[in-house]
Structures are given as structure tokens and as C-alpha cells.
Amino acid sequence: MFDDQQVIWLGSLDGWLFKPGNNPDWADPDADTGDWKPFRPADLSFDLADENGLFHGWFRLKFRIDSTLADIPLGWRSGTFGAMDLYLDGNRIYSYGNPDSDPNHQKNYRPYNQIPDPAIIEIGREYLLAFYLADHHSARIARTTFRDVRLDPWIRITGPEYNRFLQQLSNSHYFFNSLWITALTLLSFLFWFISIQAKKEYSLRLIAWLNTLLLAASIVNFIYIELSAGIFSHLLYLAYTIILYVGLAISTITFSQILNNRILPVLKKIFWGYLLFAIIDFILAHFLFTAFSILITISISVLIIIKSRQHHDVSQRFVIGGLFLTILWMFIYALIMTFIEMPIIGFNILLTLIYLTLPLSLLIFISIRYQEILLITRKNAREIVQLSKAKLKAEKEKQTVIESQKELLEKEVIARTRELSQSLDNLKAAQDQLVQQEKLASLGQLTAGIAHEIKNPLNFVNNFSEVSLELVEEAREEVKSEKAKVKSEKSPFPKGIPSGEGGAGVPNTFGTEVG
């Protein structure tokens, strides 16, 4: 009857009848079931859905509770993601969502963290359990790997132990989601702060983006689980898909950047290929396509490690180790989900390791890388200080040489200035002497000229006076001879011409009087 969690899985029992369609009268215990066929809810498949992904129909089962469940509070639990109306002996006792063949009128049900509703059932009495199930969340869901899990109504009868299990599940859900979101938020702030401080470190900015996308995926997934189904859930699923593939693309680019691999330009070109994968995945909505994309990313990461044949330093080894550990946790999680039963807290611990292993390894990488940067910076600073000291010393020596050269030059300038001044004084003295000599020479020449000019007329006058005296003597002689002749001839001169002595009144040759 009850399993370890005090659950009776009614959907797996034999005796169920099914009929597609919808008629509320089919909940009546006396309804004709001749055309109904045996079919268990646990065997539901979207192969029965129409081309739009719609599945709806009625299920009926007769059952009774034996005395082993006496005095145990029972409850009804539905795990469907569609919508269901639950009837007991023709009376509707609970509605999980609002089932309707028209998608515009249906409101889907989300079973997460829902406590079972009380079940009023008498021991030993036979009951007719009937429910109408409708699910047309989208045609896309019909193609998912989890379609059977989604459509399985999981109708069950539960005991109080199951309620405690659900309460623990709910507490674990909120605790671990809060842990993931808080840790990723702190890491994101830290990564962005460090990347802003070291703007030239491109890998730090990529790490900040990668961690931010991981945080966004956690938040979107949490909201998607908590909210009711509807158009907003479609948008959330689309956002989650895009974030997933962008994160896969950035993770390969980040990994290549950290390992200094040369295929980084190629990864940037295939970034848009990841976005195309996201669109295809949203359209096909098949888990195998998502798994294939993750395997491609893992393969690219391994290829990057192989191509990076250089010696990996300590910080890079932490990133490689974080990547392989994350892959290991994912493999263990998938293995346990498929083959092993495990308490929910174990799954949450594995999910925590999947979420936080790589970010923590990146944090270690940044801390070591930051320490390396600080060491390099200090080394460069010391070298700069040493170079500055050497340069300062050289400048001082240069300044000393310049000062000594300046003093020597000043002394030479003073000496040359003194020499030039002396030469200038000598030159001025020579020039003054030359000018004086030139003046004296000019004065001498002028005096000589004047003397010459004065001397020439005096010589002429002197010479001419001698000639004049001779002429005067000759004239006198001639006058005397004329007088004698006149006397002898009774003077031939006209009257009025005196005959005074000494030649007075006798005109000279030049029309002047001499005497």
C-alpha cells in the first residue's frame, strides 16, 4: 500500500478506464463505460495529443482503502503540469488548475511545493475516482524528452509522512536556491569590481559576464518554478534557453582567453552559432538537443586544453580542474537521476556543486592572477623606482657637469669679453689716432693748398713788380728820350699833357697809374 514516503501511486494501478474528450456526466458512477478502454494514467504519452499538442480526456477507477490505513490522515496529491478536475463518486472535490479544451480558458497547475489536500475516505468502502485532464501548454512541450513526466497526472493518496517530506523538500528548495543566488550574486559583484579595477584584463571581464549569466539562469529558473503557467512562463523558458546558450558560448571564449589559446578569434565567430542553437532548441524543445550542445561545449573546452600545449601556471590549472569537476558532477547527477534513488538533499548538494564549482575555481584563478598582477606591478614599480633613481643620479651628474661647464663658460666669456673690450679700446684708440692723423693730414693738405695758393700770386706779384720796375725804368728812359726829342722838335705832344718829373701822370701798360 504505502511506500516509504507514505504514498499510494494510484496512476500505476490496474483497473483504470480512459475516454478522450470532455463530458462532465462521465464522472457519474452510473455512466456508460462500454466504449471506454483500459488505460493507466502512468502510461500517458503525448503521442495521444493532437497536432497542437492538446491532450484531454477522462479517467475512472474503482478503489477501496483497507484497514491498514485506519486512523491515518490521508490526502490527495496531483502532480500534473496541466489542469485537472477531481471527482469522487460523481462529486467534484478538488480542481487543480482550470482544465478546458480551449487554451484561452485553461489555467495550468504547477505542483511544486504544493501540500496535499485532505482526503475524506472511509475504510473498506468502494469509491469511484474520476478526473478530467487537459494539457495544451504548447505544441513544443509535446516534443520534449520529459513529455511523459509532464503529462503523468501523478494522482496519489498520501499520508502525513509525505507531507513532512514535502515540507522538507520545500525548505530545501528555498534554502539551496537562496544559497545559489546569494553566492552567485556576491561572486558577480566581486568579479565585476575586479574587472573594473583591471580594465586591461579581458579575461576578467569575460568571467564577470559568465558568472552574471549563471546568476540570471538561477533566478529565471527559480521564478519559472514558482510562477503559474502561462504566456509569462513561455517567455521565462525562452529567456532561460537564450541565457543557457549565450553562457555556453561565453564559457568557451572565457576558457580560451584564460589559457591564451589562438583559436579565440574562431570562437568569437561561432558565438552567433550558439544563438542559432538557442532558437532551434526553443522551437524543438528537445532535451537531447540541449545535451548535444553541452557536449559540444565540453568538447571545445577539451580541445582548447589540448591545443594549449604551453606550460599551464597554477591559476590556469585551477580553472581546468574546476571545469573537469563540473563535468564530473553533471555526469554523476545524470547517472543518479537515471539509475539511482537518492534523497532530495543529495540532488541539491550535487546541483550546488554544479552551480558553484566553476565560479569558485574562477575566483581562485582571479585571486592568483591578481596576486601575479600585483607581483608584476611591484616588480615593475621597483624597476621604475630604480630607473628613476638612476635617472635622477644621472640628472644630478649631468647638472653638476652643466654647472661646471657653465662656470667655465662664464669665465671664458668674461676673459673673452675683457679681451674684446681691450681690443675694442685699442681699436678705438687707433681709430681716434687715425682720425687725428687724417685730420692733421687734411689740415696739412689744406694749409699746403692755401700756402700754395697764397704763394703763387705773391711770386707773380714779386716777379711782375720786378718786370714793372724794369718797364718803368724803360718807360722813364723812353720818356726822357721823348722829352729830349720834343724839346728838340718843340714838343710834339698835345697841350694839357704835363711833363712832370718822375713819370707822374704817364699811363702804364695795364691802364693803371704807377707812382
Q: How far is CA 141 from the centre of its chain?
A: 39
- The mean per-residue pLDDT over the stretch 112-131 comes to 88
Copy the grid coordinates of residue 403. 654647472
pTM for the predicted model, two decimal places: 0.62
Q: Quick one: pLDDT at residue 512?
A: 39
Beta-bridge mates of residue 117: 76
Four-way CATH pick for 7-158: 2.60.120, 1.10.3470, 3.30.160, 1.10.10? 2.60.120
- The mean per-residue pLDDT over the stretch 358-366 comes to 87
Nearest to 84 by CA among 73, 104, 98: 98
Backbone angles phi, psi at 408, to 5 degrees: -60, -40
Tell me which DSSP letter residue 502 carries: G
Q: Quick one: pLDDT at residue 118?
A: 92
- The mean per-residue pLDDT over the stretch 394-400 comes to 83
Burial (CB count within 10 angstroms: exposed 0-12, middle 13-18, buried 19+), residue 143: middle
Q: Can you say whether residue 496 is alpha, beta or left, with left for phi > 0 and alpha for psi between -120 and 50 degrees?
A: left
Question: DSSP string of 391-406?
Answer: HHHHHHHHHHHHHHHH
Distance (Å, whole) CA 55 – CA 353: 38
Other Cβ atoms within 10 Å of 159 Cβ, number: 22
- The mean per-residue pLDDT over the stretch 429-433 comes to 80
Q: Is the pLDDT of residue 202 over 70?
A: yes
CA torsion sign for 277, 280, 286, 288 is negative
State the distance between the two ends of the chain, measured CA to CA, in whole angstroms: 196
Q: Is the pLDDT of residue 439 over 50?
A: yes
pLDDT classification of 259: cutoffs 50, 70, 90: confident
Distance (Å, whole) CA 125 – CA 8: 17
Q: What percent of the chain has pLDDT over 90?
A: 12
Distance (Å, whole) CA 221 – CA 239: 10
Nearest to 13 by CA among 64, 75, 54: 64
Output the CA torsion 135→140→146→151 (10° steps). 10
Q: Is the pLDDT of residue 15 over 80?
A: yes
Tens digits of residue pLDDT in 74-93: 999 988 777 899 999 999 99
Long-range contacts of 214-220 (CB under 8 A, 24+ apart): 214/184, 214/247, 214/355, 214/359, 215/181, 215/184, 215/185, 215/187, 215/188, 216/243, 217/243, 217/244, 217/247, 218/177, 218/180, 218/181, 218/184, 218/355, 219/181
Other Cβ atoms within 10 Å of 180 Cβ, number: 23
Amino acid at 35: D
Domain 169-386 classification at class level: mainly alpha
Q: Is the pLDDT of residue 23 over 80?
A: yes
Q: Quick one: pLDDT at residue 387?
A: 86
- The mean per-residue pLDDT over the stretch 448-469 comes to 67
Q: Can you say whether residue 505 is alpha, beta or left, with left for phi > 0 and alpha for psi between -120 and 50 degrees?
A: left
Scored b (16 or more CB within 10 A) or e, 246-277 reads bbbbbbbbbbbbbbebebbeebeebeeebeeb
- The mean per-residue pLDDT over the stretch 269-286 comes to 66
Distance (Å, whole) CA 43 – CA 145: 15
Q: Can you say whether residue 36 is alpha, beta or left, with left for phi > 0 and alpha for psi between -120 and 50 degrees?
A: beta
Question: Average per-residue pLDDT in the chain?
Answer: 78
Of the ranges 49-58, 172-181, 342-351, the best mean pLDDT one: 172-181
Q: Quick one: pLDDT at residue 509?
A: 39
More confident residue, 479 or 460: 479
Q: Residue ranges of the alpha helices (H) in 7-145?
A: none
Distance (Å, whole) CA 14 – CA 317: 56
- The mean per-residue pLDDT over the stretch 334-338 comes to 77
Distance (Å, whole) CA 446 – CA 359: 117
Q: Is the pLDDT of residue 506 over 60?
A: no
pLDDT classification of 230: cutoffs 50, 70, 90: low
More confident residue, 273 or 115: 115
Q: Quick one: pLDDT at residue 468?
A: 72
Q: What percent of the chain has pLDDT over 70?
A: 78
Copy the grid coordinates of residue 268. 568569437
Tens digits of residue pLDDT in 206-216: 889 989 998 99
Distance (Å, whole) CA 61 – CA 26: 12
Tens digits of residue pLDDT in 122-159: 888 999 999 999 887 544 443 444 444 455 566 888 88
- The mean per-residue pLDDT over the stretch 184-203 comes to 86
Lowest mean pLDDT among 33-47, 66-80, 220-234: 220-234
pLDDT classification of 185: cutoffs 50, 70, 90: very high
Distance (Å, whole) CA 172 – CA 345: 7
More confident residue, 234 or 256: 256
Q: Quick one: pLDDT at residue 488?
A: 67
Distance (Å, whole) CA 334 – CA 336: 6
Domain residue ranges in the chain: 7-158, 169-386
Q: Order of strands, edge to edge, in the sheet holding 17-20?
A: 37-38, 17-20, 55-64, 126-135, 83-88, 91-96
Q: Can you say whether residue 388 is alpha, beta or left, with left for phi > 0 and alpha for psi between -120 and 50 degrees?
A: alpha
Contact residues for 460 (Cβ-Cβ < 8 A; gap 6+)? none
Task: Please give the helix or strand (H or E) that residue 478 lies within, else none.
Answer: helix 344-489
